Amino acid sequence: MSLQGKKVLVGLTGGIACYKVPYLVRDLMRQGAEVRVMMTKSATKFITPLTLETVSGYPVAVDMFPEREFVGTRHIDLANWPDVVVIAPATANFFGKIASGVTDDLLTTVVIASPVPVMVAPAMNPQMWQHPTTKRNAAYFREIGYEVVGPAEGDMACDHVGIGRMVEPREILAAIERLLGKKKSVPTNQTKAVLTGKRLLITAGPCREPIDPVRYISNRSSGKMGYALAEAAVQLGATVTLVSGPSRLSAPSGVDFVPVETTDQMYQAVSQRFPDTHYLIMAAAPADFAPSQAAAHKIKKQQAEMQLSLSPTVDILKAMGERKKDGQVLIGFALETDDGIANARRKLKAKNLDMIVLNNPLDANSAFDHDTNKVTIIQPEGDPEEWPLDNKSNVAFKLLEKIAGMA
C-alpha cells in the first residue's frame, strides 16, 4: 500500500484516453489512496461521471455553478484537499489554457488555485504534441514545476503513429508514487537535487542513415544508458533535454524529448541547444559513415554485386568540443573492443572532453542492449576508475553525482 493515507485529485480533460482513467483510479485506491475526480464538460463526452463516481465512491465535480446545489467555494475546497493533482488525459487545450492563465471551468480553476504539486499526462495527436505552442507550453509547465508524464509513442485513435498517446495508468501510478515519496526508485542518498539549476543535454540511441526509402544503416544501440541518464538527471533536479535516435523506450517523464533519425539531424538538434547547455552527455551511437547519396526510389537487385559509397558524417562531440566555453562540460562514451584505455584517452583529447566513459561490448552483460553496464571513467587528470558491473540506472546516478559541481 504505497499510497496509504494520500489524497489524489484526478482531473480528466476531453480525450479518448479518458477510458483508461477508471483503471488509474482503481489502481490508486488499491495502493491505499483516497481519490476524488473532476472532469471538464468535454471529458464527459468520452466517459460518464457515473462511471468514475462508481469507481471512486464519490460524486464527480464537473460544473463550476451547478443548478440547484449550493457549492460556495467548491474550487478552493477541492484545490486544498489533495496531496497531488493529476490531470489525465491532458489535452493541448488544457496546456494552452493553463499556460496563459485562462480558467474558464471548474477543472482549470482548481488547478490554478491548488497549492499542491501538479502532474500532467498529455494525450493528443502527434502533430498537436509537436506543434510549437504545445511544445512551448509543455516546456513552461516543467519550468513552473509541473511534472509532465509522457506522452508515449504508438498507434493513435486517429490512425496516426507517433508520440502523443497517454502513458499507461501503471506508469502514471509509478510517477505519483515517486512524487509522493512512498516508493523511492532510487536509494535516498541518490535523491539529493545536486543538479538543480543545471541544463543537461543528453543524446541516446542509434542513428539511421538511409540507403533508399526502405533501407538504412544503423547499429545495435538500444538507448538504455542515455534514457537512464535522462531519468536520473530529472530526479537530481536538472532541466533535461533528451535527443534520441529511434528507440523502443518511451521518453522518461519530465524531459524535453527531441526525436531524431539521422546523425545529421542529431547534429542539428544538439548544435541548436548546445549554447544554453551546462552538460552535454553524448551517450548516443551516431553513425561514422552514411551513404553518400540516399536513392530517391527503392534500389532494385539488378546486378549480382553492389557497391555502396559511404561518406563520413559529422563528429557531433568533436564539433561541440571545438565550441565549448568556460562553464560547459562535455562527456563522451567510448565503445572499444581493443586497447580501451589508450583509445579512450585519445578520444578524450581529440574531442576536448572533460570525461569519457569507456565500455566494451564484448564484456558479459555490458554495453549494447543490456540493462547493466561495466564502465571505466577517464578524465584528463588522474588514473582511470574502473566501476563494477551495475544496472544502468545506478551507473547513471553515480555518474551524475560525480559530475555535479563540474559546471
Q: Which residues are catalytic?
A: 158
Q: How many CB atoms lie within 10 A of CB 336?
A: 18
* Closest separation in Å from C-beta 256 to ligand CTP: 19
For residue 178, the surrounding DSSP H or E stretch is helix 169-179
> What secondary structure letter does DSSP report for 252?
P
User: Would you count residue 119 as binding ligand CTP (CB under 6 A)?
Assistant: no
Listed ranges 66-74, 226-234, 326-334, 369-377: which one lies at the site for ligand CTP (CB under 6 A): 326-334
CB 150 within 8 A of CB 166: yes
**316-323 and 263-273 helices cross at what angle (nearest 10)?**
20
The residue to which cell 505519483 is assigned: 176
User: Would you count residue 2 as binding ligand CTP (CB under 6 A)?
Assistant: no
Distance CA 150, CA 249 (A): 11
Distance CA 357, CA 244 (A): 19
List, in sequence order, every residue forming a beta bridge with 84; answer none if it has no partner. 8
User: Which of 82, 150, 254, 332 is the binder for ligand CTP (CB under 6 A)?
Assistant: 332
Decide whether 236 or 284 has the Cβ nearer to ligand CTP.
284
Decide whether 89 or 259 has the Cβ nearer to ligand CTP.
259
Per-residue x/- track, 227-266, ligand CTP (CB under 6 A) = ------------------------------------x---
Decide whether 150 or 205 has the Cβ nearer to ligand CTP.
205
Per-residue x/- track, 342-381, ligand CTP (CB under 6 A) = -----x----------------------------------
- Number of residues engaging ligand CTP in binding (CB under 6 A): 14
Listed ranges 55-63, 248-256, 310-318, 321-329: which one lies at the site for ligand CTP (CB under 6 A): 310-318
User: Which of 334, 367, 403, 404 is the binder for ligand CTP (CB under 6 A)?
Assistant: 334
The residue to which cell 540507403 is assigned: 211
User: Would you count residue 335 as binding ligand CTP (CB under 6 A)?
Assistant: yes
Catalogue the E-assigned strands of 152-288.
Answer: 152-155, 161-165, 199-204, 209-212, 215-217, 239-244, 256-259, 279-282
User: Would you count residue 280 as binding ligand CTP (CB under 6 A)?
Assistant: no
Per-residue x/- track, 181-200, ligand CTP (CB under 6 A) = --------------------
Q: Which of 309, 308, 295, 306 is nearest to 212 (CA)?
A: 295
User: Which of 53, 288, 322, 339 is the binder for ligand CTP (CB under 6 A)?
Assistant: 288
Decide whether 89 or 321 has the Cβ nearer to ligand CTP.
321
Per-residue x/- track, 138-167, ligand CTP (CB under 6 A) = ------------------------------
User: Would you count residue 279 as binding ligand CTP (CB under 6 A)?
Assistant: no
List, in sequence order, every residue forming a beta bridge with 36; answer none if it has no partner. 9
**273: Cβ contacts below 8 Å, ≥ 6 apart:** 201, 241, 243
Q: How many CB atoms lie within 10 A of CB 157?
A: 12
> 291 is written with which cell numbers?
551513404
Distance CA 280, CA 284 (A): 11
Q: How many CB atoms lie within 10 A of CB 208?
A: 20
Decide whether 43 or 316 has the Cβ nearer to ligand CTP.
316
> 51 is written with which cell numbers?
462511471
Decide whether 94 or 333 has the Cβ nearer to ligand CTP.
333
User: Would you count residue 286 as binding ligand CTP (CB under 6 A)?
Assistant: yes
Residues in contact with ligand CTP by CB under 6 A are 263, 282, 284, 286, 288, 313, 315-317, 332-335, 347
